[in-house]
Structure 1
Amino acid sequence: MLDRNVYRVDLREFAFLLWEQFKVDERLLNNEFYADYTRETIEGFLFHARDFAYQHLGTCYQSADRDGCQLGEDGQVSLPSAFETAWDEFRAADWCRLGAPAEYDGMGAPYVVSQMVNEILMGANPAFMIYSGFCNPALYLIDKFGSDELKDNYCQKLASAEWSACLCMTEAEAGSDVGALRTKAIKQDNGSYRIEGEKIFISAGMHDLADNIAYIVLARPEGAPSGTAGLSCFVVPRFRLNEKGEPAESNGVHCVRLEEKMGLHGCATAHLEFGLQEPCYGYLLGDRENIGLFQLLNMMNLARIATGIYALGMASSAYLNAAEYASGRVQGADFRQAFNPRAAKVPIIQHVDVKRMLLEMKSKVEGCRALIVKLSFHQSMAMNIEFENAHDKDKKAPWREEHFKHQGIVNLLTPIVKAYTSDQAWRIAELAMQVYGGHGYIADHPLEQYARDIKILSIWEGTNFMQSADLMRDKLAMGRDSKLLKLFHNEVSAFLDEHRGNNVLHSELLTLERAVGTLVEAHALMGQWVKERKLEMIFGVSTRFLEMMAEVTISWLLLDGALIAQSAITASDVNDDEKAFYEGRILSAQFYIHNILPNVFSKYEIIKREDVSALESNSDTFMTRSQQYA
């Protein structure tokens, strides 16, 4: 039973976002860089990804969880039995090459397309996909900052997933406090650095799927300042390279422990030692020390977006599994026949509370997907503009304003994608289990595993509180004048102005308009707190503000989709299946705006109260115990 495919995906939803809502063919594919990418080729990739997920990844999702990973006495890590074959098939299908740049033998697909493909593959088997997950981010990092030698040695290998990569930041005493890192880098006469230290919680940190692993290690060179200002970034291979650039002898990287985790059992989460048993050498990224965090910023943002995509892929499959189960699970009579002993039993999908739960899941899945596609679309546009104008150093060139608009939306939405999607994926998995009832809690069905696998995503790549702090501090200027908030507000306002005369969704448009105004008012209130020197209060409510902004953004995107669906329904050539799809889009928007968006108003009421109970609490509040009752 464990070798059956449990993954589900609906590609009609993908097509709607690509061609009807974001009009990628008109707005993106007309660029000369994408001459090889048409609607037909992109849909071909999506169908191929679905088939690959159904045949090769979804079939070992549950069995890999049961097999787990083991660390042998010799330090070797064994992975779930199905992963070796799946890796060979993954590489042969060139999935890693899809998003890699052409100069490294990649396919150079638009970012928005590669991320849609990633949702399918990551949702089908997240533990497996982690082993290749850092290949492209590491490639882009090395390509941007690395020497020609590093590029020649690593980039093409990463593009093809012949080698893999992983990020090594966390240490036992330095989790969120990155400035406390102790791993040392000692410069050698030949320009390399001897690396000494330990890293924990390293996802896919040790395995033999790839011929080599490129560890991206954050360390402190000898003599560097304390704190984050003294950190540098190094490329550390698992195996040293010979004169031909091929893996040769061990480079002193050893796995000393695998973590026992709540979920993602198929991913080897490793405690690694660098240079503590034998010498380990790394290579500085760039031509100067002490800029490691700056260099890693782009890679970390890509990883945060990927975290949201992992969450969406699993949450979407959990929802579709629940809908499928509810359609076939017969239990109870229709509530209108509750007192009729002869009433026929009906599938639970006809019960109003089950429909309520399914609509919440559906609206959140569709909303988070639209959110991620919007970010990915703007990232694609920003990358195109950068590439087209790579040689223009004029800081006042007209193209820079257009680039700012696209990159600004990406920067603004990244913490929201990471935090809100991972939080809601957990909620969606819990609701899907509830639809199944007792069957959702047992291991025969995938729901309990989705819940276990999803939970880490609110912690990965910076906890969700850190995302809200980043949103307020670095994106929204702590409530003061924010160019990014103006950019966002102008976009939503233009949308509302365009559709102000709509009669069918009039009340939803009005609710969104009120919610946007409330969001702006809450932001201004925090700016007032800054003037009153109440800075600490902002971080007491920053998580709520991020949720408010997510709910406004998703309502906007769902309503945009509903208006498109409304127009499509009026077309004379819409068949019954298409009509049902479009009607479902409208119901998703209405449900979300009527049931989720009002949270914006209640959260603002909480924020306005300026509650200081959390600020006034201390360790005694939580840890004091009477000797009599301790």
Structure 2
Amino acid sequence: MINRNVFKVDVRDTQFLLWEQFKVQDTLLRHEFFQQFTREDIDGLLEHAKSFSTQYLGTSYQQGDRQGCILNKDGTVKLPEAFVETWNEFKDAGWNPLGSPLEYGGLGAPYVVGQAVNEILMGANPSFMIYSGFCNPALYLIDKYGSDELKETYCSKLANAEYSACLCMTESEAGSDIGRLRTKAIKQDDGRYRIQGEKIFISSGMHDLTSNIVYIVLARVEGAPAGTSGLSCFIVPRKNNDGSDNGVRCLRLEEKMGLHGCATAHLQFGEEIECYGQLLGSRENIGLYQLMSMMNLARIATGVYALGMASSAYLNAAEYATSRLQGTDIRQSFNAKAPRVPIINHIDVRRMLLEMKSKVEGCRALIIKLSYHHSMASTLEADNADCKDKNAEWRQYHYEHSGMVNLLTPIVKAYTSDQAWRVAELAIQVYGGHGYISDHPVEQYARDIKVLSIWEGTNFVQSADLVRDKLAMGRDSKLLKLYSKHINEFVSQQKDKEYLQTELQSLINAHSVLCEVHELFGLWIKQQKMEMIFGVSTRFLHMMAQVTLSWLLLESAYIAHENLQNKELSEEMKEFYHAKITSASYFIKNHLAEIYSIAEIIKSEDNSALIASEKTFLPEELLA
């Protein structure tokens, strides 16, 4: 097939968020750590990422899907033909070191800048970007917990994509229930551990793009307790330092619905040749705790992948709608001579485009907000790395930022991936029959997006994490108080303005309903109805996401309204700001309004799922 770029991105919206809404130039970029990054530099990075994606990543997106990956008889994997050349260009362009620490040869860019760039790169060709996707999370994991030997061996090579990395947790009998995993680690006299077992669904698990692959393996040391408390984390290279084989084999590649260019591998450790790994840190049985920071970064990255693809699907659909002639203007329905019009003239197509636009812009604002707080928290930690006695002001300021990161991470992962699937579905609908065929990219976006609601902990797992660990199961929650404080401060700043008051009142009311439902969860705990909470936790996460997106979109709209008072604005900028107001108004009136019905469903305490049995779903002859 002809290699063509199908990727589209709205860099202007990202710039609006960075410079006008979150004003990183007045906070992050004033810090001594980031003085080398100016607004002009970052704008240049975004434009460079856009042009790189157009020239290299986007052109191999559909080709990678068509060709897929092939497992050779010798256990090596053949990737789509364009990926090798693209990898060399990717390395030469220096994208991987962008967010890596300076001490390992990275550029040390603020996290929020890295995620803004990643949306472009990951959205342009997610299958390809997965091969480098775990480099930085693995680097930070090793830097945080690893010995000096591990840091010296791996960190610089991961920073510069000389090595790649992947996370190896899932087993055939241990998916979300990782306490059941059976991979063994047997301690040796020299301090290493012999690794034996198999892992499945390992993204980018076998390839030759890099000279080595660093496997982050969760395993159980012989004699360790059962369950998650007996798991340890090991650094297992594909090849030893001398280049010899370390006994990692690819048994098969999964045939998947999407992401065909990514080699999703079933790996075997230590069967034909003994395989050795090094314990991460100095203690066994704390592997899951160690991996949480890496998993949270991966969950945020999942949201970024989803956003990048959803944005491109929306922009492709919007472009198609301006050129596809179909039907006549509804007001000319009875005029046999009426000219055909582009489908964007049809009100239902505009409705679909507005849903896509508002959700994409809302999720982008959500991810930039989380990334901004992550950057601020990391900067504060680096400022006080050597100070053991941190004062109360520092602790409060750090909590303001780290707390929002913890709270928003499951929402970013779950809501963004769910809505990306919805956006891709709507994009197909806008295309009509043409959207269902592979000549156009939107059917591939749908297939590639779907796994993101399953990756890195299913979206139910995210909702359970939100209500249980972040919001204290409806009891007194510091994070909910922090969240409410931020919303109330925003409302206070806008309440005396004459415009957008209907939308502001809707946000106030919706936030109140969200807090009422949270209080209901606390009542259920007292009534020993805990299982009811997990029956509706996914709905609650969506409620909280809708409130959050409404808040952020409305904040964008207020900024846009104020900027429109500038009479020297170009017509292009006027259109941009008017569109920001339209996005906020549409989302609040059409999607924030949904939370009232969701709240009523939750309050009804429907127990259908609790009383249902296997016989509810299957006839007798199909029951095992």
TM-score range, shorter chain: over 0.9
Q: Residue 586 of structure 2 is aligned with which of 569, 591, 597?
A: 591
Q: State how 1:405-484 maps to structure 2 within 5 Å.
A: 405-484=400-479
Question: 2:564: which partner in 1?
Answer: 569
Superposed CA offset, 1:145-192 (max 9, x none): 000000000000000000000000000000000100100000011100
Structure 2 distance, partners of 1:38, 1:77, is 42
Instruction: Determine if the alignment matches structure 1 residue 170 to structure 2 residue 170.
Output: yes
Question: 2:72: which partner in 1?
Answer: 72
**What letter is aligned with 2:495?**
R
Question: 2:151: which partner in 1?
Answer: 151
Q: Is the 8 A contact 1:219 1:232 kept in 2?
A: yes
Structure 1 distance, partners of 2:448, 2:2, is 17
User: Residue 214 of structure 2 aligns to a residue in which SS?
Assistant: strand
**What letter is aligned with 1:565?**
A
* Larger mean Cα displacement after TM superposition, 22-31 or 550-559: 22-31
Q: CA deviation at 1:395?
A: 5.4
Could you tell me the TM-score, scaled by structure 1's length? 0.98
Structure 1 distance, partners of 2:452, 2:104, is 31
Question: 1:133: which partner in 2?
Answer: 133
Question: 1:85: which partner in 2?
Answer: 85
Structure 1 distance, partners of 2:577, 2:246, is 57
User: Residue 455 of structure 2 aligns to a residue in which SS?
Assistant: coil
Instruction: Determine if the alignment matches structure 1 residue 490 to structure 2 residue 464.
Output: no
Instruction: Determine if the alignment matches structure 1 residue 346 to structure 2 residue 341.
Output: yes
Q: Is the 8 A contact 1:172 1:200 kept in 2?
A: yes
Q: CA deviation at 1:624?
A: 3.1
Question: 1:512: which partner in 2?
Answer: 507
* Larger mean Cα displacement after TM superposition, 300-309 or 325-334: 325-334
Q: CA deviation at 1:345?
A: 1.3
Superposed CA offset, 1:547-591 (max 9, x none): 000000000000000000000111111111000000000000000
Q: Is the 8 A contact 2:233 2:279 kept in 1?
A: yes
User: Residue 29 of structure 2 aligns to a residue in which SS?
Assistant: coil
Superposed CA offset, 1:569-628 (max 9, x none): 11111111000000000000000000000111110000000001101111121123369x
Instruction: Determine if the alignment matches structure 1 residue 332 to structure 2 residue 327.
Output: yes
Q: State how 1:531-550 maps to structure 2 within 5 Å.
A: 531-550=526-545
Structure 2 distance, partners of 1:60, 1:626, is 48
Question: 1:245: which partner in 2?
Answer: none
**What letter is aligned with 1:4?**
R
**What letter is aligned with 2:312?**
S
Question: 1:622: which partner in 2?
Answer: 617
**What letter is aligned with 1:323?**
A
Q: Is the 8 A contact 1:412 1:475 kept in 2?
A: yes
Q: Is the 8 A contact 2:219 2:233 kept in 1?
A: yes
Structure 2 distance, partners of 1:573, 1:27, is 27
User: Residue 341 of structure 2 aligns to a residue in which SS?
Assistant: strand
Q: Residue 377 of structure 2 is aligned with which of 379, 382, 389?
A: 382
Task: Give the number of equivalent residue pairs.
Answer: 624
Structure 2 distance, partners of 1:290, 1:397, is 33
Could you tell me the TM-score, scaled by structure 2's length? 0.99
Structure 1 distance, partners of 2:33, 2:583, is 35
Q: State how 1:11-160 maps to structure 2 within 5 Å.
A: 11-160=11-160
User: Residue 194 of structure 1 aligns to a residue in which SS?
Assistant: strand
Q: CA deviation at 1:346?
A: 1.0
Instruction: Determine if the alignment matches structure 1 residue 193 to structure 2 residue 196.
Output: no
Superposed CA offset, 1:63-121 (max 9, x none): 11000001111111110000000000000011000000000000000000000100000
Structure 2 distance, partners of 1:233, 1:430, is 39
Q: CA deviation at 1:396?
A: 4.8
Q: CA deviation at 1:502?
A: 2.3
Q: Is the 8 A contact 1:2 1:60 kept in 2?
A: no
State the identity %: 66
**What letter is aligned with 1:350?**
N
Structure 1 distance, partners of 2:382, 2:152, is 21
Structure 2 distance, partners of 1:109, 1:301, is 19
Question: 2:223: which partner in 1?
Answer: 223
User: Residue 82 of structure 1 aligns to a residue in which SS?
Assistant: helix
Q: CA deviation at 1:10?
A: 1.3
**What letter is aligned with 1:334?**
D
Q: CA deviation at 1:323?
A: 0.5
Q: CA deviation at 1:126?
A: 0.1
Segments of structure 2 that go 5 or more residues without pairing to the other structure are none
Structure 1 distance, partners of 2:449, 2:54, is 20
**What letter is aligned with 1:507?**
T
Q: State how 1:602-617 maps to structure 2 within 5 Å.
A: 602-617=597-612
Structure 1 distance, partners of 2:362, 2:10, is 14
* Larger mean Cα displacement after TM superposition, 324-333 or 539-548: 324-333
Question: 2:182: which partner in 1?
Answer: 182
Superposed CA offset, 1:238-284 (max 9, x none): 00113xxxxx1100000000000000000000000000111000000
**What letter is aligned with 1:172?**
S
**What letter is aligned with 1:480?**
R
Q: CA deviation at 1:330?
A: 1.1
Structure 2 distance, partners of 1:317, 1:623, is 40
**What letter is aligned with 2:549?**
I
Runs (4+) off by over 4 Å: none
* Larger mean Cα displacement after TM superposition, 252-261 or 328-337: 328-337
User: Residue 50 of structure 1 aligns to a residue in which SS?
Assistant: helix
Does the C-alpha gap of structure 1 residues 626 and 151 become closer, same or farther in structure 2, counting only changes over 3 Å?
Answer: closer
Question: 1:400: which partner in 2?
Answer: 395
Segments of structure 1 that go 5 or more residues without pairing to the other structure are 243-247
**What letter is aligned with 2:466?**
L
**What letter is aligned with 1:535?**
M
User: Residue 3 of structure 2 aligns to a residue in which SS?
Assistant: coil
User: Residue 195 of structure 1 aligns to a residue in which SS?
Assistant: strand
**What letter is aligned with 1:446?**
P
Superposed CA offset, 1:315-374 (max 9, x none): 000000000000111111111111111111111111100000000000000000000000
Structure 2 distance, partners of 1:334, 1:277, is 69
Question: 2:547: which partner in 1?
Answer: 552
**What letter is aligned with 1:217?**
V
* Larger mean Cα displacement after TM superposition, 424-433 or 397-406: 397-406
Q: Residue 314 of structure 1 is aligned with which of 309, 320, 330?
A: 309
Structure 1 distance, partners of 2:37, 2:519, is 44
Superposed CA offset, 1:376-398 (max 9, x none): 00000000000000111125542
Instruction: Determine if the alignment matches structure 1 residue 214 to structure 2 residue 214.
Output: yes
User: Residue 327 of structure 2 aligns to a residue in which SS?
Assistant: strand
Q: Is the 8 A contact 2:384 2:390 kept in 1?
A: no
Superposed CA offset, 1:220-250 (max 9, x none): 00111000000000000000113xxxxx110
**What letter is aligned with 1:206?**
M
User: Residue 306 of structure 1 aligns to a residue in which SS?
Assistant: helix
Structure 1 distance, partners of 2:574, 2:333, is 32
Q: Is the 8 A contact 1:169 1:199 kept in 2?
A: yes
Q: Is the 8 A contact 1:259 1:270 kept in 2?
A: yes
Q: Residue 262 of structure 1 is aligned with which of 257, 263, 266?
A: 257
Does the C-alpha gap of structure 1 residues 333 and 165 become closer, same or farther in structure 2, counting only changes over 3 Å?
Answer: same
Q: CA deviation at 1:59?
A: 0.2
